Amino acid sequence: MALLQISEPGLSTLPHQHRLAVGIDLGTTNSLVATVRNGISVVLNDEQGRLLLPSVVRYLEDGSVQVGESAQAAQNLDPSNTIVSAKRFMGRGLKDIGDVSGSPYRFVDIPSTGSGQAPGMVQLRTVAGVKSPVEVSAEILKQLRARAEASLGGELVGAVITVPAYFDDAQRQATKDAARLAGINVLRLLNEPTAAAIAYGLDNASEGVYAVYDLGGGTFDISILRLSRGVFEVLAANGDSALGGDDFDHRIYCWLLAQNELPPLNPHDTRLLLTRARAAKEELTEHAETRITAVLSGGEIIDNLLTQQVFHEMTRNLVSRTLQPLRRALRDAQLTVEEVKGVVMVGGATRMPQVQRAVAEFFGQTPLTNLDPDKVVALGAAIQANVLAGNRSGDDWLLLDVLPLSLGIEIMGGLTEKIVPRNSTIPTARAQEFTTYKDGQTAMSVHVVQGERELVADCRSLARFELRGIPPMVAGAARIRVTYQVDADGLLSVSAREMSRGVEAHITVKPSYGLSDEEVTRMLAESNAHAADDMRARALREQQVEARQLLEAVQNALDEDGTALLAPDERAAIQDGMAALGAVLPGSDLPAIKRAVSKLNELTVAFAQRRMDNNVARALGGKKLSDLEM
């Protein structure tokens, strides 16, 4: 029996119509755009038949802009105005970039926009003015949009743009902003490893557990996915947002400096040697050795022979840095190496022999390379875009992506309460109820944090907002529901609602820049390395909060009934117990605090009983038994 498909008026796609949607791989080194034609995803060429668009933008003095091959050709001649690898600066402050002394760029640090706010995204000074990484990326996206519309013969409905799985909220938001500047409607941001899995799963009809190893020009991601009857479920994601092919180039660059005993270079010579280093890296993928030659601006002649063996040795620790995230991802997915059916290689940097050999040894199998690692991400994004544009039903397959880092809230004692744990399937919404700490409290500050540690000080602050209008009640009586919503792009919004009156506050989390290069990988690593310390610290903070609440409650009771219900020696004993607890409370001796709390509880048992009896007697005073009968 056939079922009719009913759409809202004006929204249905006519049988002869095909909505033009594309998948875009906005890469650190190269970018691509792909679409689905006749049910097959294909990468779109430019007018010269080239698939790859170098992610290079050059700003000229007359205000014009060069993008792609023409900009790449001029990078050695005009290094300060030719921006390469802008993706590494997306959503980042100057302090996140690290040492910039050897960089050809003129960075501009953007100050804080308000009290308590983080500095803004770093920008770059060019002859055409100060430009942000978002503007640079927008120029690349404009070129890809123009290529797509020229090739497809019409205006785009939208695009799926891929991002590294470990891009945080600020980096994702920066990518969406770049697309908006380029006039592109973003149908969805899709994690790069997930896009690759879509391409492999649909093209090869694969099923089982797969690892997607994605080493691009600027970032490294590993995702563990289960493919089963059209369901693409991401089980775990990990990676290093500050590791990519650029770092391998830099090792060769540093080797050249050392071999030739060169002093710090000017921007022109720095860019020249980095370009030669990249060419040498690519040459060593196919050959046992390569010769690097260059003439610097001061007349120095560079002429060095670099062998594959020396290159592999100088980059050994870079390759090793990719293996630790593999172990963490497998542990999070609760899988062993033997349970992984296949390993998909993504990104041009995976062509390096030492990378392929290390991955093969780790998983005990030859990685899958039957799809071009440069194309596979764009191909998968095109398939997803085709579904979201309504050109084909997505009912025969389902995509379940995950959140790479936990999202939480600060609670009393500077502790982190995780609300959305890492590797939660997105989109998702999680809610949890909290209450007030003090009597008569009418406002609550909500501090949104990201990370895996138990203490807020060890996590990343994302946003703060206040909920006001809470009715004054005794401590613990109010009910405040805090809801975290993460959309399919991995972007977060948070709301807090007081349940009795319905007052509500809401914030869409848009930090001015994202996690630092080290912080993303540090968060998961330290959550394991410091797990025992974190649990002890959490137990201490929780005990300190309980102790302060006890001291406050006892003091209130003494003020109200101490004179009437306690003998002088009893009151003195309780006050001594309070003093003893107050003396150990600021310290870190958890057993001592517990003993002091226990001792004070013992000293106040009789007092609490007398207060209860007194309150009952006061409530029943002057009443007859018949008055109490129901």
Which residues are annotated as catalytic? Answer: 25, 87, 192, 214
Tell me how many degrees the CA angle 418-419-423 measures, rounded to the nearest 5. 85
Which sign, positive or negative, has the C-alpha torsion 81, 85, 88, 91? positive
Question: Nearest-CA neighbor of 368 among 165, 194, 196?
Answer: 196
Dig out the tokens for 139 from the structure. Answer: 């120029």
- Cα separation, 260 vs 271, whole angstroms: 17
- Going by the DSSP 8-state scheme, the letter that residue 266 receives in this structure is P
* Count, residues in the chain: 630
Tell me how many degrees the CA angle 417-232-378 measures, rounded to the nearest 5. 105
Query: Any idea which residue has 């609670």 for tokens?
Result: 411
> Over the range 296-324, which residues count as b (16 or more CB within 10 Å of their CB) and which as e?
beeeeebebebebeebbeebeebbebbee
**Got the DSSP string for 74-131?**
TTTTSTTTEEE-GGGGTT--HHHH---TT-SS-EEPPPBSSTTPPB---EEEETTEEE
Amino acid symbol at 112 = S
- Going by the DSSP 8-state scheme, the letter that residue 348 receives in this structure is G
SS3 percent helix, strand, coil of the chain, rounded to 5, is 40, 25, 35
- Cα separation, 375 vs 364, whole angstroms: 25
Residue 10 C-beta-side C-alpha neighbours within 13 Å: 0
User: Please, is 146 exposed, middle or buried when counting C-beta atoms within 10 Å of its C-beta (0-12, 13-18, 19+)?
Assistant: middle
Instruction: Give alpha helix (H) positions in 335-419.
Output: 353-363, 376-388
Dig out the tokens for 443 from the structure. Answer: 């406002």
For the chain, counts of helices (H) and of strands (E): 18, 28
Question: Nearest-CA neighbor of 215 among 320, 83, 113?
Answer: 320
